[in-house]
Amino acid sequence: MTLGLTTAGESHGPALVAILTGLPAGLRLDRDAIARDLERRRQGYGRSPRQSFEADEVDVLAGLRHGSTLGTPLALVVRNRDHANWEWGMSPWPPEGEPEGKGAKPVTLPRPGHADLAGVLKFGHDDVRNALERASARQTAVHVAAGAVAKALLAEIGITVAGSVAEIGGADTEEGWKDATDAARADRDTLGGIVEVRATGVFPGLGSYATREDRLDARLAAALMGIQAVKGVEIGDGFALARERGSAAHDEIEPGLRRRSNRAGGVEAGISNGEELVVRAAMKPLPTLMQPLQSVDLATGEPAQALVERSDTAAVEALAVVAEASVAFELARAAREKFGGDALDDFTAAYRAYRERIDWQPR
């Protein structure tokens, strides 16, 4: 038994969809909790105006009845309000009438740092839009919705997950983030940053050293690197550990099987060890610049400036929400693999029996 997630949807297409498989029956979902996470994803200083008119409401098309999961695939849809301005340009079927609205003109100016050049070469497109529409982080809306569902499942076994911003543009105070974002925007430039996700209530035993694919640290890293613009992941003290001696790098064990420190970030040998899970992700500066970088016009082969399209200055606060959702989904997946169960009660009973066997208490 495992959790599966398939998503589809283009940034300016009709909608984004997600299908979750492997949820137990009888899990109650809170519509407001899902809506709140989607709302959090839209927030943050330095976002583009699009965030103000995309309402990001989730419709559930399957797998839920009267607020409880049925143990069948859960189908979620978030419609793109902006599609109204792209009806011709992003029409799934050959559009009727003369080209009109956004997306009507082919894009031939690939942006360094975006999907544009590698995407058109790989897939044989002659309009960069065919690459950038799916590569766009707009799809993170349904990942956040899926993460909200995962958090509901994790709550049943006492786990909570929270993402936060550590740095934006090298600044580590909220005031500093705003100043850095204002300065970058004034220069028509962009910023990246670092986010941190912490999960509490994680008991020892999620993930395994049995194979590389089972390792919880490997899975968390893949989940976070799977988010657009994430270029680095560390678990616990991560890179800083490389500069320490062993005596200062590991977490000594005390009676009660607790640790004196948590440099490992709650994972040893690919298995959660009962300490708080701490992971961080580094986001590169966003690639769409209002003062564009040098590129080549793919239509002529001549030097040209890269595409300028409405874009965020920084999206680190949004990344914190997306990273939270991705970590939650991965933890929920590991828990489904460990405890199984068709009904939620089977799942929670297996969890309680395991807790009893290992005699572990949360802090």
Ligand X SMILES: Cc1cc2nc3c(=O)[nH]c(=O)nc-3n(C[C@H](O)[C@H](O)[C@H](O)COP(=O)(O)O)c2cc1C
The CB-of-339 to ligand X minimum distance in angstroms stands at 31
Q: How far apart are CA 20 and CA 210, in angstroms?
A: 26
The CB-of-287 to ligand X minimum distance in angstroms stands at 4
Indicate whether 78 belongs to the interface with ligand X (CB under 6 A).
no
Our CB check for ligand X shows the closer of 69 and 288 to be: 288
Residues 111-140 that bind ligand X (CB under 6 A): 114-115, 135-137, 140
49 φ/ψ sector (left φ>0, alpha ψ -120 to 50, else beta): alpha
Q: How far apart are CA 197 and CA 265, in angstroms?
A: 10
Residues 239-258 that bind ligand X (CB under 6 A): none
The CB-of-310 to ligand X minimum distance in angstroms stands at 8
The CB-of-235 to ligand X minimum distance in angstroms stands at 20
The CB-of-188 to ligand X minimum distance in angstroms stands at 13
What is the x/- site pattern for ligand X, positions 137-176, by CB under 6 A?
Answer: x--x------------------------------------
Which phi and psi angles does 221 have, rounded to 5°? -65, -45
In the list 264, 279, 315, 325, the residue contacting ligand X (rule: CB under 6 A) is 315
Residues 6 or more apart whose CB falls under 8 angstroms from that of 300 comprise none
Indicate whether 319 belongs to the interface with ligand X (CB under 6 A).
yes
The CB-of-306 to ligand X minimum distance in angstroms stands at 10
Indicate whether 288 belongs to the interface with ligand X (CB under 6 A).
yes
Q: How far apart are CA 19 and CA 296, in angstroms?
A: 38
Q: Which range binds ligand X by CB under 6 A, 8-16, 175-183, 191-199, 316-324?
A: 316-324
The CB-of-316 to ligand X minimum distance in angstroms stands at 8
In the list 19, 161, 229, 267, the residue contacting ligand X (rule: CB under 6 A) is 229
Our CB check for ligand X shows the closer of 312 and 324 to be: 312
Q: Which range binds ligand X by CB under 6 A, 161-169, 171-179, 268-276, 279-287?
A: 279-287
Our CB check for ligand X shows the closer of 144 and 334 to be: 144
The CB-of-141 to ligand X minimum distance in angstroms stands at 9
Our CB check for ligand X shows the closer of 13 and 207 to be: 13
In the list 298, 322, 335, 344, the residue contacting ligand X (rule: CB under 6 A) is 322
Cross-strand pairs, 271: 268
Q: Which range binds ligand X by CB under 6 A, 14-22, 122-130, 201-209, 286-294?
A: 286-294
Number of residues that bind ligand X (CB under 6 A): 20
**Count of all residues that appear for the chain in the document:** 363
Q: How far apart are CA 233 and CA 225, in angstroms?
A: 7
In the list 58, 148, 279, 318, the residue contacting ligand X (rule: CB under 6 A) is 318
The CB-of-30 to ligand X minimum distance in angstroms stands at 23
The CB-of-299 to ligand X minimum distance in angstroms stands at 21
Indicate whether 278 belongs to the interface with ligand X (CB under 6 A).
no
Binding site for ligand X (CB under 6 A): 48, 114-115, 135-137, 140, 227-229, 284, 286-288, 311-312, 315, 318-319, 322
